[in-house]
Amino acid sequence: MTTATPMLGTEIELVDGPIGLPDHCKYSLVVGSREGFYWLQSLDEPTLGFVLVDPFPRFEGYTVDIGSAAQAELGPFDRSELLVLTVVTLGGCETEPVGTNLRGPIVFNLRTRRAKQLVVSDPDVELHAVFDPFSEIAAAV
């Protein structure tokens, strides 16, 4: 999947809200200070935000199937206008590693400014896929 360039400061409609929060549909997508990281900030609830990550460089072979229903909700697009990100998850305590939810990717249509969180039902896809968010720093030193 091609990584598109997000539009900063632009309102994004998250169709049906994130899973479990259907009433929170207006967000701003901001590029993080580290490559491949983003911040999804609710415009309705200032205390609600999510750290997102581009999963493709971190998880070889990861794919996302955007079904026809989701495509219709996202509106017209060219593949180059899509951005697929996953929600960063923390373990239950400070000793558990950082991960990302590969079963709940969020697909952004940057043309229509609409996004949709998908549900991947494949049990082989990880709910908390562990990765090292600092590995890029270590590699650059």
Predicted TM-score of the model (pTM):
0.86
The answer as to whether 4 is a domain residue is no
At 1-54, the pLDDT tens digits run: 444 455 556 799 999 999 999 999 999 999 888 888 999 999 999 899 999 999
At 86-122, the pLDDT tens digits run: 999 887 767 778 899 999 999 999 999 999 999 999 9
Q: What is the CATH number of the domain that holds 100?
A: 2.30.290.10
Please report, for residues 33, 35, 64, 97, the alpha-carbon distance to residue 128 in angstroms, rounded to integers and kept in the order given.
23, 21, 16, 9
The answer as to whether 3 is a domain residue is no
What domain range includes position 120?
A: 11-140
* Cβ neighbours of residue 127 closer than 8 Å, sequence gap 6 or more: 89, 101, 102, 103
pLDDT value of position 34: 85
* Number of domains within the chain: 1
Percentage of the residues of the chain whose pLDDT score is greater than 90: 64
